[in-house]
A and B are shown apart, each in its own frame.
Chain A
Amino acid sequence: MNLYQNFLAYFLHCSSCFLHWSKRNWETPVFTVLALAPLFHSAFAGGLGGQITSVFIICIAALGLNVMVGFTGLLHLGIASFFGLGGLFLAILTVPMNPLEIGFLAAVLVSVGITAMIGTLLGSPTLRLRGDYLAIVTLGFGEVVRVLFLNLENVTGGTQGLGPVPPPGFGVFITGIDLGREFVVDSRWFYYLSLIMLFFAVMFVRILEKSSLGRAWIAVREEPLAAATIGISVAKVRLSAFTIAAAIAGLAGCLSVASIGTTGDPNAFGFNRSVAILCAVIIGGLGSVPGTLVGVTILFGFDIVVIPLVDAWMQRLQSQVFEINLFALGSWRLALVGIALIVVMRFRPVGLIPSRRFAAELQEAQQ
């Protein structure tokens, strides 16, 4: 029995659990519904599918952040910069402007690898920092990346971003279907791609959580001194969390850039995005995988999916009834998100779906 076998066995176990319905198995119903939904509603082929896809992508990034903030207890304020870096490397490797133009899958692997390496490089000198100090470093790094994106115009395309990024499967024909064209025309392709990636990310994080590394993360989070005296190398364990968070966020960035088709304005990878993802993780419940997904779905789903729908409906209603536009919810969305944050933190400080561990730790702190 070795680690690889453990990993494989656990993965098979998880996969078989997927088919087994039980009270605590939330993945099966959720992923089944999400996988079947597009078959019953044609809106998924259009704008709605694209919107939900971007929520999935942010879910993946938030899972990465959860590894660092939730499991290891290191405050990370620059997750969006890793999101952006992953996307940038994908774009550099695939856009027709650049000579490399390698395939999507290879480009994703390479850019996730490079992002993880950058995470390690950033992490290694900052490992002895803790709490607020590390937060400041990651905050600074996020801003540095954003400014570099803006200023390295030849490499990153400056404010306009690099594009057009060819869709996955560009130039691949399967039984007469041009896969690249399908990805552009029908947003259900991206929907399923990001759903599968989300599923893998969830499985990956859960396997890590239950592995010896995951236990070491939690030990370091709770009592770094005691963890060190039982032989856990605190610096290495923190560094591994840093690296894995960067890699997962990089993967999300790759998917995002591929689905939009360009890296876009680098300001989108700035502090605001980082904090929004962090808020989603905290609302959902630190250290809890379903909580993270729920938090992102509520915050970003509200922002990306619900607001446009409600606004369109209200516009129609108002123009029919009052014949003028009185009110648009879109201009109030940030205020609504802020109020939701305050309410959740007041009445459920451990998050909407808290992990049992965090509840135990809070109880310990209150005693």
Chain B
Amino acid sequence: MTSEGSMKSGNPSVLPADNPLLSIDRLTVQSGTLPVIDSLELDVPAGRRVAVVGSGRGSRAALLDAICGLRSATSGSVRLNGHRLKQAFSAKTFWGILCTGVLVGLLFAAAAVDIDRLWLAVVKRGLVVEEPFTITTVGKRLRSYFRAELAIDRLAGNWRIVTADGREVLAVRRDLSEARELRNQMQAAVTARRIGPGVIPDITDLVGDANEPQRELLLDEATLDRLAAGKRRIRFRGWSAFTFGLFLGLGMSWTIWQRGRRLPEVAASAGVARTFRVPRVFPAMTIFENVLVAVEQGVRRKSSSWWRLINKSYCIARTEELVRSVGLAHQSFIFASDLSLYERRCLEIARGLAMSPRVLLVDEPADGMVAKQQELLANLLEEVCGKELTLVLTSASEGPLTEICDNTVSLSPHAIE
């Protein structure tokens, strides 16, 4: 039943508490290189109200920030009901990271094998030679691109024999069937060269002046070698880019996931709500909407269906109840920017309660309040929190607000060496 804070490192006081709801274990938070919280141990049983006093305002705020995930702890852990306030590694995460990796890999591979030429080889070439577009022909053309085979293309009535990516024109023929035959011969020579030494085929072409035609060998040794290496080159490019992209994508998404594990929304879904010292209400929403947005999130999170359906009339009724309970019902449709500090604090409490949390962290509720308002706020908190809710509030000094708490934890001022 006792809860106690200790700033003494190396000698944490382990306290008996049957099933603490919130347990903080050797928590250290550093600001720069200096610790603001040093090896703090704190166990809060369910339904208890704890006031954290002492030390500086920064230390107290850092404690609440570390609990709700706004600030990452240097070491130590925060557990709610025995579970760490961190997102678990699930099957969904695994598949998400894997898919991102593969997708990035494919994008890199597409860039490396030149998607523009690929489109030319698969779509445009089929159109010029008037082949039908079926899965078979598209597949065939796709395969022939990745094997760097020779292809036939048309330019202004001439049939050209080109490399798969269309970068190099090897021969031009007027007749399609003639071009096909030549292409097959050349392809056979290239394939033979790819496997073994092959032979240089005796394919010649007429070039030069019409009066003085010369016969020229179409495939000399260097060309043949270059064409034979084409398959290896494109495969190497594609696979290396894919592998690079895969690892890049996996690394990136892993890092992003790792950094997003300990976000405030994770703590909030587990049931930790907090308010701020300077109230952070949504100024351009009405009071009603300020609370409604939190109610909806709470309902949505508990909804079992994958589409996350929400019951609108329930949300509205619950919001009305909450707004009434903090005493803002008469002005529920004015913008929050028009509220006073006290009213903002009430609104923040209502918003925190809206997600039906198990722990409510209230940061310096007495700050900027006159004694009367502090009393009102203490009454309000006692009323709305009831017996079930666990409350952790911080305060600079003892006052009406710390009196409603069962325990007071004093953070001893930290000695800076």
Contact = CB atoms under 8 A, between A and B. Distances in A.
Verify that A and B bind, or say they do not.
yes
B265 interface: yes
A58 B68 CA distance: 44
Interface string B338-355: 100000000000011011
A152 B313 CA distance: 53
Contacts of A11: none
B123 A229 contact: no
A215 B284 contact: no
Q: Is the interface of A mostly helix, strand, loop or mixed?
A: helix
B284 A358 contact: yes
Contacts of A99: 123, 126-127, 133
A223 B347 CA distance: 15
A363 B283 CA distance: 9
A97 B127 contact: yes
Interface in A223-245: 223, 225-235
Nearest to B131: A99
A1 B313 contact: yes
Interface in A326-367: 356-358, 360-361, 363-364, 367
A229 B117 contact: no
A358 B282 CA distance: 11
Given A215-B292, A360-B337, A230 B354 contact: yes
A219 interface: yes
Interface in B7-39: none
11 contacts: A154-B116, A155-B116, A155-B119, A215-B285, A215-B289, A215-B293, A222-B284, A226-B276, A229-B264, A231-B265, A234-B263
A228 B127 CA distance: 54
Contacts of B292: 215
B213 to A, nearest CB: 35
A155 B114 CA distance: 11
Interface string B284-317: 1100010011101110110000011111110000
Interface string A165-203: 000000000000000000000000000000000000000
A229 B298 contact: no
Q: Is the interface of B mostly helix, strand, loop or mixed?
A: helix
A216 B297 contact: yes
B280 interface: yes
Interface stretch (B156-164, B234-242, B267-275, B369-377): B267-275
A319 B124 CA distance: 52
Interface of B: 68, 70, 103, 115-117, 119-120, 123-124, 126-127, 133, 252, 256, 259-260, 263-265, 267-269, 273-274, 276, 280-285, 289, 292-294, 296-298, 300-301, 307-313, 335-338, 351-352, 354-355
Nearest to B271: A231
B282 A226 contact: yes
A358 B283 CA distance: 9
Nearest to A358: B284
Given A212-B296, A230-B352, A364-B283, A152 B115 contact: yes
B134 to A, nearest CB: 10
A84 B117 CA distance: 22
A218 interface: yes
Nearest to A217: B293
Contact of B294 (A98, A153, A231, A357): A231
Contacts of A2: 307, 309
A226 B120 CA distance: 52
Given A154-B120, A231-B294, A222 B283 contact: yes
A108 B295 CA distance: 37
B351 A230 contact: yes
Nearest to B70: A225
Contacts of B307: 2-3
A360 B70 contact: no
**What are the 9 tightest A-B residue pairs by CB atom distance, in nearest-first order?**
A231-B268, A364-B283, A357-B284, A228-B264, A226-B280, A99-B133, A364-B337, A361-B284, A360-B335
Contact of B268 (A4, A128, A228, A235): A228
Interface string A5-41: 0100000000000000000000000000000000000
Contacts of A131: none
A222 B282 contact: yes
A235 B133 CA distance: 42
A231 B293 CA distance: 10
A152 B120 CA distance: 10
B68 A3 contact: no
B294 A1 contact: no
Interface string A246-270: 0000000000000000000000000
A231 B284 contact: no
A325 interface: no
B282 A228 contact: no
B309 A231 contact: no
B282 A218 contact: yes
Interface in A95-150: 97-99, 121, 125, 128
Given A212-B293, A225-B264, 11 more contacts: A3-B309, A98-B123, A99-B123, A99-B126, A152-B115, A223-B282, A229-B70, A230-B273, A231-B297, A356-B335, A360-B337
Contacts of A226: 276, 280-282, 351
Contact of B293 (A97, A216, A234, A361): A216
Contacts of A223: 280-282
Nearest to B120: A154
A297 B377 CA distance: 51
Given A215-B285, A215-B293, A154 B119 contact: yes
A188 B240 CA distance: 54
A101 B103 CA distance: 27
A364 B334 CA distance: 13
